[in-house]
Structure 1
Amino acid sequence: MRRLDLRGQHVDARELRSRMPRAEVDVEAALAVVRPVVDQVREGGADAVRALGERFDGVRVDDLRVPAAALSEALESLDPAVRAALEESIRRSRLVHADQRRTDVVTQVVEGGTVTERFVPVQRVGLYVPAGVAPLPSSVVMNVVPAQEAGVESLAVATPPRRGDGPDAALPDPTILAACALLGVEEVYAVGGAQAIAMFALGAREADGSQSCPPVDLVTGPGNIYVTAAKRLLRGVIGTDAEAGPSEVAVLADDTADPEHVAADLVSQAEHGEASAAVLVTDSADLADAVDAALARRVPATRHGARIAVALAGPQSLVVLVDDVEAGLAVVDAYGSEHLEIQTRDAAAVAARVRNAGAVFVGPYAPVSLGDYCAGSNHVLPTGGTCSHTAGLSVATFLRGIHVVEYSQQALADVAPHVLALAGAEDLPAHGEAVSARLP
């Protein structure tokens, strides 16, 4: 991995952000590809979704919706160890997300005047589960559980079909289907890519006028650059979660960290793809050297070593040398990683000072992989530094706060002079008249 030596330098946050690496992701260029896909779905409905799936996925899907029997069969055929792992992941995720539920809040502003904030779930959501480099049943859990805990009435999952022959041809990955079945999700579509997002946003009407997939209000879930571009293009038609880019991990470590742990964690996240980012920030050159040596052993020995090697050698991955942990904190805050590990002395105290990260993993026994599957936290997180203003997926993603205002005649009369004064200041006299018309 390349090195950036910041020791002895006083670099402000703006310059740190400019010097830290990012994977090159050109969503604007992808929009040129995605726009005609969206237009085709808008005009051609379900038949267009089928044609696009055949074009991009190499699979012709006659029934966009996965049959209930296929969901049941996938669950029945699931490896018992994988089923147990998914069930435990679901259990832990429910514990965490259940505590994120909101209760309505009533504020008495004055005698006779209240404002209530009601938290209302989105009525219908579309959840996207990718299956490109590898199928991700864990993403089913991460999307579905917070939506269910928020009280969403109607939810649908879209995930790409698989190529091949035989009875399972044109069906999505069976482990993804089994995860849906475990969670009680009955509406699953064998549709991937930008056409899946367009289908969710615009609906998929059949030639006979029936609706294969009714449109949704909100779409969540990670995906490739074309999925991201489709979300950006359709934002406003639908709500969306954060735009997901290549996976990122940053590790802030000092000389107490185990280099084998650090190397294993960098490798694990680089496994996502060649554009994945792995960043080590440390005040110990000896640790950096030991991590390099561990990577040299680990990368060739792992199954996906070729793509991991590309990711670690890429411009988006880096070892940053700093004077101390304090300087390291400034670096990781400026970088704003999707995943941040703290492997230092007093790791909990250091972690408590982090301002910018999608999720923080504290100490030697909380690797990112734990959060990917079974920590109970959510792994759908903001990338590209957007964690400085955007949170990861949670129950809050699926809730809307609605203010309910209730005032008595006397409470309105008491505040009327202020309303009239402000309406006059803004040259909106009819606003004031709407109040004065109610006064005796």
Structure 2
Amino acid sequence: MTFGAPSTSSPAFRTIDLRGQSLGLPELRAAVPRLTAGDGASVEEGVRGIISDVRGRGFAALGELAAKFDGVEQRHPRVPADAIEAALVGLDGSVRAALEESIARARAFAEAQVPGDVTVHPAEGASVTQHWVPVGRVGLYVPGGLAVYPSSVVMNVVPAHAAGVRSIALASPPQKDNGGLPHPTILAAAALLGIDEVYAIGGAQAIAAFAYGIPQGTHDGADDLPAIAPVDVVTGPGNIFVATAKRLVKGVVGIDAEAGPTEIAILADGSARPELVAADLISQAEHDPRAGSVLVTDAPELAERVRGQLAVLVAQTKHRDRVVEALAGEQSGVVLVDDLEAGIAVCDAYAAEHLEIMTADAPAVAARIRSAGAIFVGDYSPVSLGDYCAGSNHVLPTSGTAAFSSGLNVTTFLRAIQIVDYSESALAGVAPHIRSLADAEDLPAHGDAVDVRFAPLIR
């Protein structure tokens, strides 16, 4: 494996050359660009402390954490209903129209995902049904930080609505410039979706409040602070503290995933347009200095043309410093491969959150991918489309977890309950098999529980 220096005319964007090498899945996973794990132990220790504090001191802890991390004074984090309505009234008309279109497309896709019940009849008088029911209450987290994410309100709320969830609470960090409330565009998006239970809580403390609830309690000498009811499922993206908190409360509540920094991989051949590749790499790099932007190609000449386009486009982009840092990071770069077959193998090993296919016969290539959060096919399906208005969900698995997990969808908010209904004769038909298996497992009382149903009635 060799690493090439970037051209002097473009932002630092390293090259990983895998040509001429025969690598298996473990070696490919080790070779692709990834962030080196940071000091996870110290982060976990800090998050454990926050969770414990919120569980133990409730609103007092939330108030102190809001002052410490967000610079706001807070008695109770519930956002007043009039503030939510005012945010919608003040929403720019073009943004409202865009959100409404995004909601409509996401709703159509989410409602189509709702699974139907399935019943089979193994024998006469016997039925087994899988019955889907929504969870009772969910807590949705929408991050703040370097950007504003009303689109994440849409992506979290719409599938929960489609699943039939009746109680939905939303949390987003308080902002000093907004009077201690979440960003007004976040509040407006919540209003458009009919969400009136919104909390100005950020970070790990929001996850803790949702997972364990906050009882009615005393803070600042008052005892009339309304409780925050615990939820069944917590979803939504966030920073490393949010992701760690979700991992620590998993089991107390369900979670969607431990989302990390965003990432894009682009599988491209010599037919790809370098300006499109460069623009799409930048689009994800502007999220976060830790975002990953990866080009996988069998065309070295394309890689150099992309570098040239990066030099032009990065200089023009608003968040240049952030983009430059992300592109120069260990999590970004060009991966050179021998051919398209090797490129597909690299992409499956990388298991990107977002994977774009810019090759000849892109639909056929996309159909061969086995690990990705979402796949974007051809020149006119950029990741930006999926972020906002494709109808798909942009809450997707990161950091290689797409190899075993899925993006946020309706089933995140559903439970499958199995219903077994056998008649006397149907049970009698399998009673000998139950007896045999119970004895084989040395659990004779299991067999007895069936046999007693057919024993002579004892009075």
Shorter-chain TM band? over 0.9
The aligned amino acid for 2:450 is V
State the match for 1:178 in structure 2. Answer: 188
What one-letter code is carried by the residue in structure 2 that aligns with 1:184?
G
1:141 equivalent in structure 2 = 154
1:344 aligns with one of 354, 359, 363? 359
Q: Is the 8 A contact 1:150 1:395 kept in 2?
A: yes
Query: What is aligned with 1:237?
Result: 252
Match of 1:63 among 76, 95, 115: 76
Q: How has the CA–CA distance of structure 1 residues 88 and 337 changed in structure 2, closer, same or farther, with 3 Å as cutoff?
A: same
Aligned match of 1:7 in 11, 16, 19? 19
Q: Which residue of 1 aligns with 2:4?
A: none
Secondary structure, in 3 states, of the residue corresponding to 1:213? Answer: coil
Identical pairs, percent? 58
CA deviation map 1:82-121 (0-9, x unaligned)? 0000000000001111110111111111111110100011
Number of aligned residue pairs: give it. Answer: 437
**Any conservation in 2 of the 1:28–1:229 contact (CA below 8 Å)?**
no
Instruction: Indicate the residue corresponding to 2:7 in structure 1.
Output: none
Identify the match of residue 369 of structure 1 among 384, 395, 412.
384
- Per the TM alignment, residue 72 of structure 1 is displaced from its structure 2 partner at its CA by 0.5
Q: Do the aligned partners of 2:76 and 2:225 also contact (CA within 8 Å) in 1?
A: no
CA distance in 2, matches of 1:356, 1:50: 42
Distance in 1 (alpha carbons) for counterparts of 2:60 and 2:437? 55
Q: Which residue of 2 aligns with 1:19?
A: 31
TM-score under structure 2 length normalisation: 0.94
Counterpart of 1:330 in structure 2 is: 345
Equivalent position to 2:210, from 184, 200, 220: 200
Residue in structure 1 matched with residue 93 of structure 2 by the alignment: 80
Shift, 1:56, TM fit = 1.4
Which whole-Å CA distance do the structure 2 matches of 1:19 and 1:351 have between them?
Answer: 22
Q: What is the CA–CA distance in structure 2 between the aligned matches of 1:203 and 1:53, rounded to whole Å?
A: 17
Give the drift of 1:426: 0.8
**Shift of the alpha carbon at 1:24?**
3.0
- Alignment partner of 1:132 out of 117, 134, 145: 145
1:53: Cα distance to partner?
1.3
Residue 211 of structure 1 deviates from its aligned partner by 4.1
Q: How does 1:86-165 map to 2 (within 5 A)?
A: 86-164=99-177
Q: What is residue 335 of structure 2 aligned with on the other side?
A: 320
AA partner of residue 22 (structure 1)? R
* 2:231 corresponds to: 216
- For 2:134 and 2:54, locate their aligned partners in 1 and report how far apart those are by CA, in whole Å: 27
Matched, 1:421 2:436: yes
The Cα shift of 1:281 comes to: 0.5
Question: What's the CA shift for 1:29?
Answer: 3.0
SS of the equivalent of 2:58 reads: helix
Q: Which amino acid aligns with 2:147?
A: A
3-state DSSP of counterpart to 2:121: strand
CA-based RMSD of the aligned residues comes to: 1.1
Partners of 1:276 and 1:400 in 2: CA distance: 33
Shift of 1:2: 0.5
1:202 shift after superposition? 1.0
Look up the equivalent residue of 2:106 and give its one-letter code. Answer: S
Following TM superposition, by how much is the alpha carbon of 1:354 offset from its aligned partner in structure 2, in angstroms? 0.3
Counterpart-to-counterpart distance in 1, 2:337 and 2:89: 53
User: What SS class does the counterpart of residue 227 from structure 2 fall into?
Assistant: strand
SS of 1:143's partner is helix
1:107-141: CA deviation from partner (whole Å, max 9, x where unpaired): 11111111010001111000000011111000000
1:399 to 414, 437, 441: 414
CA-CA distance at 1:212 after TM superposition? 2.5
Amino acid at match of 1:124: R
**Residues 200, 214 of structure 1: 8 Å contact kept:** yes
> Paired residue for 2:10?
none
- Deviation for aligned residue 1:321: 1.0
Whether the 8 Å contact between 2:59 and 2:75 is mirrored in structure 1 is no
- CA drift at 1:8: 1.9
> Would you say the 8 A contact 1:122–1:398 is kept in 2?
yes
> For residue 48 of structure 1, what is the amino acid of its counterpart?
A
1:170–1:190: 8 Å Cα contact kept in structure 2? yes
In 2, the alpha carbon distance for the partners of 1:405 and 1:210 equals 45
Structure 1 counterpart of 2:343, one-letter code: G
Cα offset, 1:259, TM superposition: 0.2
- Structure 2 residue identity aligned to 1:201: A
Q: 1:268 aligns with which of 275, 280, 283?
A: 283
CA distance in 2, matches of 1:235, 1:50: 25
8 Å CA contact 2:141, 2:171 repeated in 1: yes
1:327 deviates by 1.1
Q: Distance in 2 between matches of 1:13 and 1:94?
A: 37
The residue number in structure 2 matching 1:228 is: 243
CA distance in 1, matches of 2:224, 2:24: 59
Mapped contact 1:247–1:383 kept (Cα < 8 A): yes
- One-letter identity of the residue aligned with 2:207: I
Structure 2 residues without counterparts, runs of 5 or longer:
1-12
CA distance in 1, matches of 2:192, 2:335: 43
